[in-house]
Amino acid sequence: MTEHSENHGSDEAASPAPAVSGAECDRLSLVIALAAIVLFTITASAILPHLVQAWKGHAAPPDVALTNALVLNVALIIFGWHRYRKLSAQLAEHRAAEAQMRRLAEIDHLTACLNRRSFAVAASAAMSGRNVADSPLAAIVIDLDNFKQVNDLNGHSAGDAVLKATARRIAALLPPNGLLSRLGGDEFVCLLPYRPAQPEAVDHFAARLIDTVSAPVQHRNLAIEVTMSIGIASTASLSAEECAAGDSQRLMHKADIAMYHAKRKGKNRFEWFEDAMESELRFRNELETGIRKGMANNEFVPFYEQQIDLETGELTGFEMLARWISPELGVIGPDIFIPIAEDMGVIAEMSETLMAQAFQDANEWDERLTLSVNISPVQMRDPWFAQKILKLLVTHRFAPQRLDIEITESCLHENVGLVRSMITSLRNQGVHISLDDFGTGYSSFSQLRSLPFDRLKIDRSFIGGLRHEDDSKQFVDAIVSMSRGLKLPVTAEGIEDETVRDVLRGMGSMKGQGYHYGMPEPADAVRQRLEKSGLMRTAGSERLPACDFHGAAADSRNEGAKAG
């Protein structure tokens, strides 16, 4: 046998079935020892009396071979017994190691809670063994809100500390007959028995969870705060067959749907599962699939809404508004798909594709016409956002002075420092920044003063009210005077008729947009409109050189272009 094959042979000996072969050896050694004892009893009863007689000198010594056999027999007993003891000890050690491995495979290593697999087994066992009507169980799925940000901003060790503290806090609130598991990432689940007449006990438990977990977690010199969204489903919502079969997956699925609902309703809250949530989720999943497919098939296109100088009636530019032209669902507005694209993490990609298309369209228009684009707060979390916009401008040779970025007030609450530096770098290149939907959020006067906006857009909900004699007029008046004080030009959104336009005109100079001037239109319709008014770029006019970014940000906007 070669050395190699010998090693291979010994490997095989050490390979997977040691417990079985160990147990067999163990038994074999015991049998050998027992056989040796029986043999000893037989030979010893024949030889020992002779030996004693010979030792006393009354008889000749027994046969040497038989005496040797007896000695050998004794040796065999000692050897067999010793081997039996050794193998038994090895086997016990092996079994203990196996039990430890099994236990480790059942728990989550970071938090020491049950893991997903072992929880499913324990939950199924708890469900199938009980009368659901008399003793229901509530599955409580818990997901930390914005946990990714904790990791991104403070590092993974901080994230781990938050997860451990969360597990400890939940476990401390859970009664002894409850179960707790970390399903993975920042998701936990509890199983809580409750009295059928007292579902409010589960509400109470969920409310305490929300309170307790939101307390700051101390990590090094940081105090990290996280909130949680909770979804609850009771075994009472399952069919008798599902309960009897211990279908814990179905129960968890329902709790998961409720948790997802809690997230969409604003996070930091709990929701009980309701049947309607399931169909809503199915619809949403279909939308997500449709959005992915639609992005691949260029189904997302820019529409354009005219922006007008109210005083002169001149067209000054367009606001780009995204539309999804879905072959299955028809034309879908951004209010439906933008929040989903944000959740899916594809908003930046979608927005950049739309912007690229809009730059190409707007490059055909008269250079005095501006282009406004809406930016999601999710995009503003990207520290490279300003660079990405500037790169797009260079790639498409679009003059930065013609671009107006619209951000909403919600962007200002996330990381004002980052937002300020992005606004500043974009403005340094000549890009203009507007605060959109003003009045619907909570921007403070000091934020407006300290952030270098170029324009305020008054939300259409206030403009619509100008038709009637209600508080809207005073409110809009107040915004216009404040903007004048801050030297911020104003745009009024949602002008639907002449009455509203005239009221706004009476308030001073401003821009306006709304259905009164036309519905948002696709690029072709805009092209036709501009051709009629002689506002397409003329053949001879050159585009800006791609590198003309650091030049003075001359504002061509105020000049306006006469609409046809």
Tell me which residues touch ligand C2E (CB under 6 A).
Answer: 305, 321-322, 333-335, 338, 351, 354, 374-376, 406, 436-437, 460, 493-496, 514-515, 520
Using the rule CB under 5 A, which residue among 256, 436, 520, 530 binds Mg ion?
A: 436
Nearest distance, CB of residue 546 and ligand C2E, angstroms: 24
The one-letter amino acid at 317:
G
Residue 219's SS3 state is strand
HSE-CB of 334 using CA atoms within 13 angstroms: 20
Distance CA 178, CA 199 (A): 15
- DSSP H or E segment with residue 538: none
Provide φ and ψ at 395, rounded to 5°.
-55, -40
Which of these segments, 77-85, 193-201, 376-384, 429-437, binds Mg ion (CB under 5 A)? 429-437
CA distance linking residue 229 with residue 210, whole number of Å: 8
Kindly state the number of chain residues that form the binding site for Mg ion, as judged by CB under 5 A.
5
Complete DSSP assignment for 297-338: TT-EEEEEEEEEETTTTEEEEEEEEEEEEETTTEEE-HHHHH
- Binding segment for Mg ion among 136-144, 168-176, 428-436, 526-534 (CB under 5 A)? 428-436
Contact partner at residue 494 from ligand C2E, Mg ion, none, CB < 5 to 8 Å by partner kind: ligand C2E
Instruction: Tell the smallest beta-carbon distance from residue 216 to ligand C2E (Å).
Output: 32
345 binds, among ligand C2E, Mg ion, none (CB under 5 to 8 A by kind): none
Distance of closest approach, residue 142 Cβ to Mg ion, in angstroms: 36
Task: Choose between 236 and 340: whose C-beta lies nearer to ligand C2E.
Answer: 340
Among 358, 437, 510, 557, binds Mg ion (CB under 5 A): 437
* Residue 386 CB, nearest approach to ligand C2E (Å): 16
CB 448 within 8 A of CB 488: yes
Least Å from the CB of residue 334 to ligand C2E = 4
* DSSP-based three-state secondary structure for 504: helix
Query: Could you say which of ligand C2E, Mg ion, none residue 366 binds, taking C-beta under 5 to 8 angstroms by partner kind?
Result: none
Nearer to ligand C2E, 367 or 409 (CB): 409
Query: Do 333 and 528 meet the contact criterion of CB atoms below 8 Å apart?
Result: no
Near Mg ion in 360-399, by CB under 5 A: 374
Q: Give the separation between CA 503 and CA 496, rounded to whole angstroms.
A: 12
CB 293 within 8 A of CB 315: no
* Residue 287 interacting entry, from ligand C2E, Mg ion, none, C-beta within 5 to 8 Å by type: none
Q: Which is nearer to ligand C2E, 147 or 300 (CB)?
A: 300
Kindly state the smallest distance separating residue 306's Cβ from ligand C2E, in Å: 10
Q: What's the closest the beta carbon of residue 500 comes to ligand C2E, in angstroms?
A: 9
* Gap between the Cα atoms of 237 and 253, Å rounded: 12
Nearer to ligand C2E, 12 or 335 (CB): 335
Nearest to 389 by CA among 347, 431, 424: 431
Asked if 270 and 230 count as a contact pair (C-beta separation under 8 A), the reply is yes
The entry of Mg ion, ligand C2E, none that residue 400 binds, CB within 5 to 8 Å by partner kind: none
Packing angle between helix 523-532 and helix 347-362, nearest 10 degrees?
20
Nearest CB to Mg ion, comparing residues 363 and 440 = 440
- Smallest separation (angstroms) from ligand C2E to the CB of 320: 6
- Per DSSP, 195 falls in state -
Q: What would the two tokens of residue 72 be? A: 């050998």
3-state secondary structure (DSSP) of residue 139 = strand
Selection from Mg ion, ligand C2E, none that 354 binds (CB < 5 to 8 A by kind) is ligand C2E
Q: Min. distance of Cβ 145 from ligand C2E in angstroms?
A: 21
404 sits near Mg ion (criterion: CB under 5 A): no
How many angstroms separate the CA atoms of 481 and 485, rounded?
6
Contacts with Mg ion, residue ranges (CB under 5 A): 374, 406, 436-437, 493
